[in-house]
Structure 1
């Protein structure tokens, strides 16, 4: 299977299935000398871990990370980092009754069409369980970016269903089960998801990622633009159906006289571009949004077909998220960190000795 790797100078390759023995990855390109421990990675994994609230899958995986290589005496050596997480709570029997049935909204039908075979146990490789290794690699990238370059990445939920959340207090994001930055909306979200859970239904969400203090000048022109690579990485997350950068689709309603970001000696007066101009970072906040569709595995009956082409009705049983967008927050942060790390390494390789007389604008 192609397409298991991302990045050029900082490169991640993952392997494993939802109900297989383990999930793992190889990370190439991390500079030597970065202090890394398993607990550094575990902190990020615990944010994504299933079973942490009433509205995400109840699958109880500890997600205990093990570093196999690339770290010696607590620091990176510059060689390939190998990571692994064993699956401990897999229940493939939950899927025996649908192994010959295509679940609507999932990759069952397309995997069968492409490969002629599929792992029906929770979707196998197409399961969001695969993202556990992205979060692990993202934890390393986030630490390097934070400690070496001062970059800080924040993710939060800004909409679930028709409930929109303002970014009022990022400090409370880790203190509620929704990664919500709006204290006035937490009770409303709780009621919405509780009612949906009683109905055996699900709902979509919008996740916003903000990058503070990004380096200026990272990103490649034309095909490897920073915004293009960020969109590619975020669209690779399960259930993501849309990506916006800066004003996103709101630019449709703005005249050119309003959507430009004016420059002064004190800095930019606005940030409609989301911190990226011509595919290269401007040094302003990088602002991204992703739209995540509702979980398709729910207890509401739906029509489908089986391997013989016969029409049937199914109810998907098992342990599933009422809102998949909630656990997507740390995953989205990780993918942004991985892309930024890659572009920082690419910048260092090509333009590390470039100096200009320009003032630094934010």
Structure 2
């Protein structure tokens, strides 16, 4: 994915490792494995309200870094799988799970080529590679002091009414359920109830981009909103994308959503109803978008499917370690895909050069240190 900042991910849920190759990075960016791990730790499993699979998810950089800085050559990163339990998936080998990609992968690639262990390539585990690349994109965005942060806005009966202050959103990364701190108890109780019932729930992630530059995106097919939609909708489990007032637009009259233009050292929009994008091009206001995740189909309740050995109806109760709400760890993935898409547009627009000066690298490093310290 991408035109200048390009990523290629690889690996399966229960394979030896997953990883990403990143092309197009400028030279001179200070990057360490700890930088990447800082973002990966917010996505990794093993939390109280997520999958109990125990993965350290510490990245290993194989290429593209010399003396602690990017060389301008491709960066390759791997994350090893250390706690797969494939035995949980032996029944699924013959019984494709409803709501999963099992049956579509079987029909597209052939049953004999289907990696049924944890869903193989279709697993949410694949997104660890995206977050590794997203960590680098997030750091590079700091050249313009642009920060991407998200949180759980809705999940079942749980709801955060208005968009919180940006610092509240940023601090939600330290919440075990990735929502704002004064609401997290409500979401925790909901998930605890679902776990006891052997069920799951969907969720809506809201992401805010602070301090984006204006004029990102092209007029027709390469609109910023179109590229954001493609990258976000490629995330496993995502079923919807909107920005600004989005799907609520149908509720309003045109006269109610005419956003006043004013001038304060630059052109501004009074209410930012468009969510930072007009005509597919960034306005310079905060970019605000929302992403809908479906409830995972990996639940303990009995489901109906087909036994591939005799093509007769059968029942399936899924065992293993699964997230009761995939949107929780999905926050980090959405943030990463937004950052990756923005960096590609930054480089297309010439905002970020192909070679960073020492001064630019030092500015990024200082802001990265400040970003990591927030909310500690």
2:311 is the counterpart of 1:309: yes
Whole-Å Cα distance in 2 between the matches of residues 28 and 50 of structure 1?
Answer: 28
2:126 is the counterpart of 1:130: yes
Aligned-pair CA distance for 1:309: 2.0
Whole-Å Cα distance in 2 between the matches of residues 39 and 350 of structure 1?
Answer: 23
Aligned residues: 344
In structure 2, what is the equivalent of residue 268 of structure 1? 269
In structure 2, what is the equivalent of residue 58 of structure 1? 52
In structure 1, what is the equivalent of residue 331 of structure 2? 329
Q: Deviations over 1:92-138 (max 9, x none)?
A: 11111220111001000000111113110010000010000100000
Whole-Å Cα distance in 1 between the matches of residues 256 and 172 of structure 2?
Answer: 32
Whole-Å Cα distance in 1 between the matches of residues 19 and 249 of structure 2?
Answer: 40
Whole-Å Cα distance in 2 between the matches of residues 281 and 291 of structure 1?
Answer: 22
The SS at the match of 1:327 is helix
In structure 1, what is the equivalent of residue 184 of structure 2? 186
Mapping of residues 135-174 of structure 1, within 5 Å: 135-146=131-142, 148-166=143-161, 167=164, 169-170=168-169, 172-174=171-173
2:199 is the counterpart of 1:201: yes
Aligned-pair CA distance for 1:171: 5.1
Q: Deviations over 1:272-316 (max 9, x none)?
A: 111011111100000000010111111000111122321001100
Task: Identify which of structures 1 and 2 has the higher relative contact order when contacts are C-alpha pairs closer than 8 Å and 6+ apart.
Answer: 2
The SS at the match of 2:205 is strand
Whole-Å Cα distance in 1 between the matches of residues 272 and 299 of structure 2?
Answer: 40
TM-score computed with the length of structure 2 as normaliser = 0.89
More displaced stretch, 200-209 vs 259-268 = 259-268
Whole-Å Cα distance in 1 between the matches of residues 52 and 192 of structure 2?
Answer: 15
In structure 1, what is the equivalent of residue 369 of structure 2? none
Answer yes or no: is the 8 Å Cα contact 2:347–2:353 preserved in 1: no
Q: Which runs of 4+ in 1 moved over 3 A?
A: 349-352
Aligned-pair CA distance for 1:258: 1.7
1:109 to 103, 106, 117: 103
Q: What is the alpha-carbon root mean square deviation over aligned residues?
A: 1.6
TM-score computed with the length of structure 1 as normaliser = 0.92
Structure 2: segments with no counterpart, 5+ residues:
355-376
Answer yes or no: is the 8 Å Cα contact 1:165–1:182 preserved in 2: no
Answer yes or no: is the 8 Å Cα contact 1:275–1:284 preserved in 2: yes
Structure 1: segments with no counterpart, 5+ residues:
1-5, 353-362
Whole-Å Cα distance in 2 between the matches of residues 175 and 17 of structure 1?
Answer: 28
Q: Deviations over 1:309-352 (max 9, x none)?
A: 21001100000001111000111000000000000111118999
Call closer, same or farther: CA 1:174–1:350 in 2, change over 3 Å: closer
Aligned-pair CA distance for 1:172: 3.8
Whole-Å Cα distance in 1 between the matches of residues 52 and 350 of structure 2?
Answer: 43
